[in-house]
């Protein structure tokens, strides 16, 4: 089974829990060189993918449901472990290839006021919403490697705040992205 099929058929929480580490410098990441700029860029991943795909970018919604976040996710968000959150999982595609698996954890307390719209995002990119919101603040990036069969996947996550309300976004870079040219942000 290829890695994309395995990700689509296996719940994220069934994989070994990643050990997330906060990174301040690119040189502190032990990932292969090809992944380092993707892991440390604080700009919009969506904008990078749209550009790299020559506007052939799409979002495939895998799931959107009220679930319990993992211990690590609850700790990152500062919420009690047994509080359900709206969890959204998607595949970000470029030129119809799966490039990124993304998981967003949105506490119920975040889905109030203007942020209530987040549960209606559907097939749209969450990044397009986050990076257009003037109240958005991004916390430190954390990186991890995830072992899936014989593949080592690299991932990053960070807590975003909209109107000072938290949500966690994790992005797992899939093997097809390795062939995509990374160009630095100019936004």
Name the binding residues: 88, 126, 171
Name the binding residues for substrate: 88, 126, 171
Q: How far is the C-alpha of 152 from the C-alpha of 170, rounded, in Å?
A: 16
Whether 110 and 121 have beta carbons less than 8 Å apart is answered as no
Q: How far is the C-alpha of 39 from the C-alpha of 45, rounded, in Å?
A: 10
Structure tokens at 79: 């919420």
Q: How far is the C-alpha of 180 from the C-alpha of 122, rounded, in Å?
A: 26
Sequence-distant (6+) residues with CB within 8 A of 141 are: 22, 23, 39, 40, 42, 156, 157, 158
Chain centroid to Cα 37, Å, comes to 15
Whether 112 and 31 have beta carbons less than 8 Å apart is answered as no
Whether 111 and 84 have beta carbons less than 8 Å apart is answered as no
């Amino acid at each position: 089974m290829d890695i994309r099929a395995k990700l689509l058929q296996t719940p994220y929480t069934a994989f070994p829990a990643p050990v997330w580490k906060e990174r301040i410098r690119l040189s502190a990441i032990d990932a292969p060189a090809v992944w380092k700029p993707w892991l440390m860029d604080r700009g919009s991943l969506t904008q990078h993918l749209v550009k790299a795909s020559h506007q052939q970018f799409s979002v495939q919604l895998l799931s959107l449901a009220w679930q319990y976040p993992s211990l690590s996710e609850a700790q990152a968000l500062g919420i009690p472990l047994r509080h359900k959150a709206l969890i959204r999982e998607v595949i970000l595609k470029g030129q119809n290839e799966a490039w990124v698996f993304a998981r967003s954890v949105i506490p119920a307390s975040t889905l109030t006021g203007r942020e209530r719209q987040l549960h209606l995002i559907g097939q749209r990119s969450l990044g397009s919403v986050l990076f257009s919101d003037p109240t958005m603040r991004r916390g430190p990036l954390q990186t991890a490697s995830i072992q899936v069969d014989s593949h080592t996947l690299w991932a990053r996550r960070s807590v975003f705040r909209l109107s000072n309300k938290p949500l966690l976004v994790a992005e797992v870079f899939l093997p097809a992205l390795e062939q995509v040219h990374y160009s630095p942000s100019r936004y």
